Structure 1
Amino acid sequence: MNEVWRDALREVAASDRLLVALDFDGTLAPLEDEPMDARMLPAARNAVNALLDAPRTVVALVSGRSLRDLRTIGEHRNDSRVLLAGSHGAEFWVPGEGAIVHPDNPADAALRDELRARAEAATQQLEGVWIEPKTFGLGVHTRRATAEAAEDANRIVDAIVQADAPHWRRRTGHNIVEYAFRHEGKDSAVAELRERTGATAVLFAGDDVTDEDALRSLGPHDLGVHVGDKPTAARLSVAGIPALAGLLSLLATERAAVRE
């Protein structure tokens, strides 16, 4: 690890109260053809546990997954110390409080169900395409589809949503396009987590396009980490999940040392 990395880690490690907010898929867990098969790599799990044991340090998972699905793939129990922000920050789970969901209009949920059903019917002939039900919208998964089928699916669902819900937020990710009637993003999720925890500094790590919202929102005393080699707003980039796990483990060690 070079000196630039060490200096950046030492800066956030010295903060009074640190929030470590982490994307899940592609950041702590490898991407899977079957999304619900995703699980943290052991090294990532060990790093998260080390951070949870570090003084005045809070760990949160921030994901586009619904809160229910994030709890499943994160193997998150009711006695967990890890905070969760699901659905890009429209749902939260807080230790001692449980699930917290911001209220929405029943008409939005009805439209969600209608558009999801139409998307499923319109793409059912496209092999490898899966329409994922989401709490506040839907996702079009194309990881197992051919490039042609993926293009057709995205074009079809774009047209459906644009016709009746042009105000919905559209996000792209690794072989997925998501549509949501809620406009929260990972930037607002991190902001709410910062406020809830009283954090004086934030480390956020992610690998996908939707993570860039959070990375761009960080302040001068925060640290953004990108997993992968794509262009990013993050100050640091690491090659993959094992490298991130090593960085987080080092942060836990530094945090324990400076807070003694």
Structure 2
Amino acid sequence: MPPNGEPTETSPPVPTTALVTGAARGIGEEVARQLARLGIRVVVTARDAGDASAAAARIEGAEALPVGVDISDQDSVDTAARTFADRWGQLDILINNAASSPDRTETPSRADLTRASAALQVTLFGTWRMTQAFLPLLRRSRHPRIVNVSSGAGSHTDPQFGFPVFGGAAASHAVSKAALNALTAVLAAELSDTPVVVNAVCPGVTATEPGAEDLGARPVEESAPGVVWAATLPDDGPRGGFFRDAQPLGW
């Protein structure tokens, strides 16, 4: 197999390969499952390698990265990239799903800034680390895609979840997701003359915890398709956008 991943006349085609962070449960696991159903080879990750293995066992067509991935730690991310390169060589789709959990009671004026900084380290800088580390592997692909799983909580204009709706609650979550949307935009601008298609997706309020559906959250099966859509866009698809259910959102 040549270094660029292109098949020779005698070798079989290389299946499209996706890497999903934070895939041990919830929306990440369901995105991995729906990608696998499309015939995509899916590699799932989690902070604990055992959790990733357990998730992969529940998903037909998925494999687990054999090392844990803590996206807030540079050494962990670098090890993950080397491990992936040694085993799979090329990456076609990067789903940056891992993020910090929101504190719904936090407001800007009373936020613990140490905890706020930790949230940004995961949601913003963790995604940034993963993107930098895996971009060389994505450049080996003919149709590379990056999807940053964001939230309408990082939007000025989203009528459901935007900044004005909840009176400043979940402040660190909102700020980190707004920053993630900005990262998506500047990264897409940098890569505009390359094959790498970059977008952000809000999956909507999703039932990732018991009882969440009783509070109006929708099942993960209904939230994941918007992420899968962005991961499988054609080469001339939108870039640098923010979407929910394949529809543009303002931010």
Q: Could you say which TM-score interval applies, normalised by the shorter chain?
A: 0.3 to 0.5
TM-score for the superposition, normalised by structure 1: 0.33
Of structures 1 and 2, the one with the larger relative CO (CA 8 A, separation 6+) is 1
Greater Rg, structure 1 or structure 2? 1
Could you say which structure has the higher strand fraction?
Answer: 1
TM-score for the superposition, normalised by structure 2: 0.34
